[in-house]
Amino acid sequence: MAKKKRDIRREGIMEEAAKLFKQKGFGGTSMRDLAEQVGMDAATMYHYIKSKDEILKTICFDIAHTYVTQLAEMEASPFSYTQKLKALVRLHIHLMTSKGAEVSVANNDWKFLSEEALQEFKGLRNQYERSLASIIEQGIKAGELKDVHPSVALFTLLSAVRWVELWWKPDRGVTTQELEDSILAILFSGLENTKP
Amino acid sequence: MAKKKRDIRREGIMEEAAKLFKQKGFGGTSMRDLAEQVGMDAATMYHYIKSKDEILKTICFDIAHTYVTQLAEMEASPFSYTQKLKALVRLHIHLMTSKGAEVSVANNDWKFLSEEALQEFKGLRNQYERSLASIIEQGIKAGELKDVHPSVALFTLLSAVRWVELWWKPDRGVTTQELEDSILAILFSGLENTKP
């Protein structure tokens, strides 16, 4: 029970930290800023977290593990290559609308990770991109996907959703469902209307 | 004749400056770095350009005017909305493979423009985005394009090509023609293969 309360506090600190890092950058955020933001004195806050480095590492790897876990699930699934790819692109969009600050930190501030964590993070990212590229290659071979250069397809898909993190807010007049459906429709069926 | 030689020198300085800004950032590049890079002493270089601010302004507005000019040509053309949009997305990709450093500066370092130039640049960019959104809206109304939220379509198109500036090199095993054709195919016809 005590453990659970501690975890909730810790998660709250992580959330506020992600917002501050997104807004002011990792380098521009001090532990004093963070303590102020969460309304604790620094000594109390250090009861829950060790350092700014630990916070950054936790945020980056939480996001990375979400991607890697979903990828593994898809790889083990009986779905078509297209369905696997669609589910993963949908996850990217979903994470940006549900955990926008954390995704921003994992996309932009990962370079401030300590050396060991940095190597591990880059390794995970490269492995993830290679696995996605492999799904694309197999989808092309199977005739499910158009015969384009796999890297071009991979980076077009990943890049095409990046703006969501900067743009999306609940008051944009687009639900998260519409947002995901529209982007998926453009990327997989094309913006051009083929219906008569 | 003398004028022409001066212009060529000036353009050479602009090109090297764009490369340095892309590599080290606008803030991280000194006029001394630039003089060294172009192999002139500072006094000679100041014969061709006035300041770092002038260089940044020239690079950003050259790119902005290329977009605006092409947009005006397309708006005045008899092409379909889809064709206009395709030509403009193609221009974005083409500029990233032909003037990658300049596009990077216009995308990332515009925020360092002096106040007046900054307002003008933002105005041009907003106007450009509004015009593109309007082409998309008209294309949807005409039934040429899928019925998606116009802002979602606009930002998906613009974002989908942004990776090219970071990735593309002549030795990637993809010609610029293949690159443009593949990205256009994905965005307008979809990555999924609809052929039997």
Residue A4 has pLDDT above 90, yes or no: no
**Which part of chain A is CATH 1.10.10.60?**
1-49
CB atoms within 10 A of CB B27: 10
Q: HEC profile for A62-100?
A: HHHHHHHHHHHHHHCCCCCHHHHHHHHHHHHHHHHHHCH
Determine the number of helices (DSSP H) and then strands (DSSP E) in chain A.
10, 0
CB atoms within 10 A of CB B81: 20
Cα A60 to Cα A190: distance, rounded to the nearest angstrom:
32
CATH 3.40.50.1370, applies to B56-189: no
Residue at B16: amino acid letter: E
Q: Which CATH class is domain A1-49?
A: mainly alpha
Residue A3 has pLDDT above 70, yes or no: no
Give the pLDDT confidence of A115-170 residue by residue, as tens digits.
Answer: 999 999 999 999 999 999 999 999 999 999 999 999 999 999 999 999 999 999 98
Question: For residues B129 and B154, is the Cβ–Cβ distance under 8 A?
Answer: yes
Pick among B79, B129, B140, B152 to test the A interface (most A CBs inside 10 A): B152
**Which part of chain B is CATH 1.10.357.10?**
56-189
Nearest-Cα distance to chain B for A168, in Å, is 10
Determine whether A194 is exposed, middle or buried from the number of CB atoms within 10 Å of its CB (0-12, 13-18, 19+): exposed
> Given this model, what pLDDT does residue A195 score?
62
B185 reaches A (C-beta below 8 A):
yes
Answer CATH for A52-189 from 3.10.20.30, 1.10.357.10, 3.30.559.10, 1.10.357.140? 1.10.357.10
Residue A1 has pLDDT above 60, yes or no: no
**Which part of chain A is CATH 1.10.357.10?**
52-189
Instruction: Check CB contact under 8 Å for B146 and A82.
Output: no
Determine whether B104 is exposed, middle or buried from the number of CB atoms within 10 Å of its CB (0-12, 13-18, 19+): buried
pLDDT tens string for chain B (196 positions)?
Answer: 556 888 888 999 999 999 999 999 999 999 999 999 999 888 899 989 999 999 999 999 999 999 999 999 999 999 999 999 999 999 999 999 999 999 999 999 999 999 999 999 999 999 999 999 999 999 999 999 999 999 999 999 999 999 999 999 989 989 999 999 999 999 999 999 986 5
A contacts of B189 (beta carbons < 8 Å) = 146, 190, 192, 194
Instruction: Check CB contact under 8 Å for A193 and B143.
Output: yes
Pick among A191, A194, A195 to test the B interface (most B CBs inside 10 A): A191
